[in-house]
Each structure stands twice: as C-alpha cells, then as structure tokens.
A and B are shown apart, each in its own frame.
Chain A
C-alpha cells in the first residue's frame, strides 16, 4: 500500500515520514495555535485596559488565562522548538533522517490531535479554567464538576505522550546517527541543547503523566488522592506538577539558547565563545533544573530547611545561565557584526533574557518571593524569560533558517519592522507589570477598582499588546509576500554559515546528503570554506543525485490512524453513558494500527 502513495498533494503530507516536512507541519500548527493564544492574550489585555471593565465575565477570563498559558507553552513554544529539532537535527549531524521516521510522524499527529482536543473545549463552551498548573483541589469534582478540567487533563496527557515519543526519537537520533568524525564535542551547539532538552523531557514527562492519571482517577473514578477529606493531600499535586513544571521551563528555553548560539557566531563571523563551557553549562542547567521545583511553592509552608535548600539551588542555577550570557556577549565582542533580522532577534534575546533572569533570581529568596507570589511581578518575570527570551529567539531562528527550508529569503525590511514592533510592544506590555506587581496587583483577576493606582500602567500594558499584535500581522504579511512573489532566491550557503545544513541546497533534497559527510572540526563547514588565517577555500557542496538511487523510508498511513485511535480513547472519557464503549473502540483502533504499522514495510 505504502509504496504507491503520491509525492505531492494532501495525501503526501498526511502520510509523510520525512523529517523536513514534519518539521514544517509542526511550525505551521504552532503558528496556528499562536494565533489562538495571541487572541486570548489580546482579549485579556483589552478587558484590563480600564478598571471595572465588562468586556468578558470573570468565568471567561479564567478560561482565557488558563488557555493562554497552556496554549503558549504546550501548543506554541514546544511544537515550534520541535519544528527546529525536526528540520535541523538530521541535517546538522549529517544523517539521512531521524532514527524512527514513522514514530516522528506519530508524535506530530498525536500533538496535533491533542491541541485540537484542548481547543475544542471553546466550541462546546467548556474551556478549562483551573490555571495552566491546574491546582488541586480547585480542579476536583467538588469545585469543577463540568468536563472543562477534563479537556485540560486529557489534552496535556496526549501532548505529553507526543513529546515523549519525539524525545526518545531525537535522543537516539543524536547519539546514534551522527556522521563520521562528529564526536560529541564536535556537535553544533544547537544539537547539544536539543539533546539536553530531550533528556529533560524523557525524565520530566512521566511525572506529569502520573499526576494526570491521579487527577483522572480522582475526577472519573472517585479516588481521593488530592482530597483531604479521605486522607489525600492537595500539596501532592503541586509537588508532582512542579517536578515536571520546572524542568519544563528549561525545556522551553534550552532550544532557544541553542538557536541564539547558532545565529550569533554566523553574523559575528566568529566561533561561539567558549563552546565547551556552553555545553557544560547546558548540562548543568538540565541537571539543576530538577532540583529547584519547590521554589514555586515557597508560600505553601515547606519549612526552613526545604526553603533554604531550594533557595540555594535556585541561586546556583543562575551561575551556568550567567556563564552563557557572558559567552554570548564575548561572541559578539570584536566580531564583524551584520545586523540582519535574525541577528536582531538573537541579540534582543540576550538583553530580554537577562532582564527575566535577574527578576528570576530575586524570587529565589523566600522572603522576597512571598511578596511577589501571585502578583504581576511574576507575570512580568516569566514573560521576559519565555517571550523576550524563548519566543524572540525562535523568531530569530525562523528568519535564519527560512531560506534553508523554502529556498527564499524573508523580506528583511518587513522583518526589521516586525522586530522593532515586537521589542516596543513587548516592553510596553511587560515592563510596567513589574510596577503593577510591586504595587500589589494580583495575577488572574478579571478586573480591578479604579482607585488602586493601577490604571495608568494597565493602559500602557494594553496598548503595548496591540503594538505586538501589529508585529504579528507584519510577520504574516512577510510570509505571504515572500511565498507569493518568490523574489529573493537563497543560495545553499545563504548566510555564510558554519554548520553542515549549509552545505545542502536550499531547500534540501528529500534524501538530505548525496554523499555521507565526514567532519574533522567543530563548525566543520566553516573550516571547509576558510583557512585559519582567513583565506578562502573552495568547499564541496553536496551534489544532486537521482532520488531513486537513495533508499528513503516509505510514507505511511498508520501514524495518523494510531494517533486518531489514542484520541478516541480520550474522547470516551467525555461521555457518561456510552463513554467506555468509545474508549474501547479507540483502543481497538490503536491496537489494529499498531499491528498494521509493525507488519508494514518501512
């Protein structure tokens, strides 16, 4: 069946197992969900523009807060990072594809269905409203009797499964499929941060899986893990959630750090400063990331010992992060800097992330943290880290690798306009939130009285969010313009890059490398182009060959069918009478798809 599938058209995308196409699908889906999350943010900011506003109700506001956070983390930043992992990992390590191409497609479809399930809650007017961390016992059956919380629980459970499958795939790919000569310390830095991210995913996801299963049992089968009435403990959810949740923030930021560490050297025409230290810092951040979860819980009464320990660990994790910041600055120092759009985004990452990091270290002190807890100061902090940090870096990555992916440069003028709109809008929105937080404005309130002294900064923040939205529009116009006019064709090595993907045509052929690459140095492609004293050499670009001569994994229908089966299992939990029949039917589909998969020729 699989062999006679077409190479173009919708079917070819549904059945594809090509890591490059899957990467593109991840990115497109992520931007669709960014639109959802962005509209939610604009609605919230509009509601908060003036005191005593009645644009949305308190209940709707709760749903907007919850869905904005959940969407931006699980449906935008993570899948957009996954898009980069997918497209770049095999190209950067000189491999024909990932280790398990069909599993790669499977994780994409599971992710997409999970995201759609989560957002379907809006259609049936049952959007989750328990916050992105879904704290018990607010989310127990007693206080949240409808299926709203179930959408969150099953949505995140499914998304977690998708990430876990992808993580196993990428870990094996990176450690097992590198080309000849690429030892661990000759891997591009982006591959290193990807690797550490996968380790974090592999170890953190099972913890949230267990917590979500416990919550499902509490809500569906009547157990009382998080119900004090029967001996359970509310605090257990918080511990489980943050044992996952803190590594999760490094899962969001590490790929962004990797992207920045690729962009800065290219546009400074200098190697990354302190590559080895950067590698060790990434590992240290990954390791310490598991030891700081309770700093989210300083106000729950952990006791002095736990507070002292987690406080110290949190301060410690700032050290490798600080090392990285100095390394990035040193990379720029004395370089021949080209201020392309990608470079602007990458440089803004350093500044914005440092801001967010500094306010983060403030929270490592329990007495200060208890003043900031649940105020807008915290909102300002994590938006500086995740938006000013991760999202700016991801946009930089889009501008940097777009010519590689599609063969055309994005419009630089529009890109720079978007960048400045983003910088202005972002800082207008989130910098005043520091003041609001210090003045005591709590998070997640749907409105406020006019006499609190919060009016001005709220209005400023809201106006900033519209500037950001304008930047978003600019980005869409840029993409549409570039793909419609196809004006500026990109050569293979369009930025004078350093890593192996630039030795391939833009866009790369389906089979990736015609000749298996062999590397001798870190930044091997650069060393193929230049001698140590800067003389130009003639590098060998990858030749074009007939694709028929290359063995490629066959496309397959089974990943999407298997993912649909799992989705049906989850859907069954939303129906009272016939629910278990639906779930069992889903299990049968999953099982049949598994067997179909196994006996299909890969």
Chain B
C-alpha cells in the first residue's frame, strides 16, 4: 500500500492502475465463483447418503448473516467517504465497522458449518455437502482475506498517523469487499432460497 510511483502516472483511461487491476481481478473471480456455483447446482440433488439441503438449512440465521454482510458494505461506503473527506475519526470508525461485520459473518459461518457437521453433513458425506462447503468455504476465505486487508489498513492508519488518507487503496479494498458481498447475494439466492422453489 506504499505510495506507488505509478499513482502519479497519467493513465489513458484516467483510472488508477491499481483500481483497474482490481476490476480485472473481479472479472476473473466472476468465472471462479461461476464455476463453483455451477458445480453446486449440478451436485445439489446428487447426494446419495446423508442429509439434504431441506433437512438442515436454517433460513432465519442465514438471513441474519446476509443482513450483517450487506450492512458491512454500507459501512464500507461510509469509510471511503470519510477517507476522501479527510475525517480521520469517521474513517477509522467505519473501517472498524466493516471489519466487525466481516468477523460476525465469519462467526455465523463457523456456527453454521459446526451445526451442519453435527447434523451429519461432513465435507466428504456426499457430493451435495462437498459442493456446498467448497462454494461457501471459498466465499468465506474471500471474506477472511478482506478482513485481513482492512485490518492491515486500520493498523497502518494508527502507525502512519492522522494525516494518512489512502483513498485509492481503500477504494480498491472497497471494490473487493463489495464484490464479495454481491457474490454472497448470489450464493444466498442460489443455495439457500432455491431450496424453496
């Protein structure tokens, strides 16, 4: 996140290279999650043993964790806004809120996995379980890296002091965070809501 020499470079599109790079990465990630979601759709009814989706999903709790993750995106917007307007306290507070939202979501996911395993659905029980854990686990890993990233920025903010406003870097992190949220909306729809179709 150091002051990159390329930031001062004039770019053809006018978009900072790092931001552009993140957009391209997001394009790639669409195909990553696309493949995982397709794999889940193919396999969700193919489990021969063990519980099925309808047996174990708890829509109330997942709705709650979805709400939490969406709110963290709102916090992300506010953190970036504060950073761009050089308001150090708000910038730190809202960044901390994003991190908290991410951690709460990961807590929900831990609880959910724990619950499913106790209900008899392990990683290797059947292909439905394997595809489910692979998809949601991959998403959880993305949330974890987002939390790590934003925590690093928050800590750096305390090291660098009150005059450090990394707007571009935070915007890049924000793009990532929003994308991970959007993917969750898709996963929530396809994995948790399609069960009721």
Cβ A221 vs Cβ B15 within 8 A:
no
Interface string of A408-437 (1 = CB under 8 A from B): 000000000000000000000000000000
Cβ A236 vs Cβ B39 within 8 A:
yes
B82 to chain A, nearest CB (A): 22
B35 to chain A, nearest CB (A): 4
Chain B residues within 8 Å of A100, by CB: 6, 17, 21
Cβ A240 vs Cβ B35 within 8 A:
yes
Q: Is B190 at the interface (CB under 8 A from chain A)?
A: no
Q: Is A578 at the interface (CB under 8 A from chain B)?
A: no
Q: Is B64 at the interface (CB under 8 A from chain A)?
A: no
Pick the contact of B127: A169, A204, A230 (CB < 8 A).
A230
Cα distance, A203 to B26, chains bound together (Å): 10
Q: Is B36 at the interface (CB under 8 A from chain A)?
A: yes
Cβ A176 vs Cβ B11 within 8 A:
yes
Q: Which residue of A lies closest to B153 (CB)?
A: A598
Interface string of B1-38 (1 = CB under 8 A from A): 11111100101110101001100110111011001100
Cβ A225 vs Cβ B5 within 8 A:
no
Interface string of A226-240 (1 = CB under 8 A from B): 000011110010001
Q: Is A361 at the interface (CB under 8 A from chain B)?
A: no
Pick the contact of A551: B2, B5, B17, B134 (CB < 8 A).
B5
Cα distance, A231 to B128, chains bound together (Å): 9
Cα distance, A205 to B39, chains bound together (Å): 16
Pick the contact of B32: A176, A210, A600 (CB < 8 A).
A210
Q: Is A592 at the interface (CB under 8 A from chain B)?
A: no
Chain A residues within 8 Å of B47, by CB: 231
Taking A172-B20, A207-B31, A225-B39 as contacts, is the C-beta distance between A177 and B5 under 8 angstroms?
no
Number of residue pairs spanning A and B whose beta carbons lie under 8 angstroms apart? 113
Taking A206-B29, A209-B32, A598-B1 as contacts, is the C-beta distance between A223 and B13 under 8 angstroms?
no
Q: Is A168 at the interface (CB under 8 A from chain B)?
A: yes
Q: Is B124 at the interface (CB under 8 A from chain A)?
A: yes
Cα distance, A171 to B131, chains bound together (Å): 32
Q: Is A595 at the interface (CB under 8 A from chain B)?
A: yes
Q: Is B43 at the interface (CB under 8 A from chain A)?
A: yes
Cβ B130 vs Cβ A168 within 8 A:
no
Taking A203-B27, A205-B28, A206-B28 as contacts, is the C-beta distance between A213 and B17 under 8 angstroms?
no
Chain A residues within 8 Å of B42, by CB: 233, 236
Determine which residue in A169, A203, A230, A551 has the highest number of CB atoms from chain B within 10 A of its CB, and name it.
Answer: A230
Q: What is the interface size of chain B, counting residues whose CB is below 8 A from a CB of the partner? A: 39
Chain B residues within 8 Å of A230, by CB: 48-49, 126-127
Q: Which residue of B lies closest to A240 (CB)?
A: B35
Cα distance, A209 to B138, chains bound together (Å): 12
Pick the contact of A172: B21, B35, B39, B128 (CB < 8 A).
B21
A100 to chain B, nearest CB (A): 7
Taking A217-B134, A602-B4 as contacts, is the C-beta distance between A223 and B31 under 8 angstroms?
no
Within 8 A of B (CB), among A168-206: 168-169, 171-172, 175-178, 202-206
Top 5 closest pairs, chain A to chain B, by CB:
A206-B32, A223-B130, A210-B35, A231-B46, A206-B31
Which residues of B pack against A, CB within 8 Å?
Answer: 1-6, 9, 11-13, 15, 17, 20-21, 24-25, 27-29, 31-32, 35-36, 39, 42-43, 46-49, 123-124, 126-128, 130-131, 134, 152
27 A-B residue pairs with Cβ-Cβ distance under 8 Å, sorted by A, are A99-B20, A171-B24, A172-B21, A175-B20, A178-B12, A206-B28, A206-B29, A206-B35, A207-B31, A207-B32, A207-B35, A209-B32, A213-B134, A214-B134, A221-B124, A223-B127, A224-B126, A224-B127, A230-B48, A230-B49, A230-B127, A231-B43, A233-B42, A236-B39, A236-B42, A598-B152, A599-B1
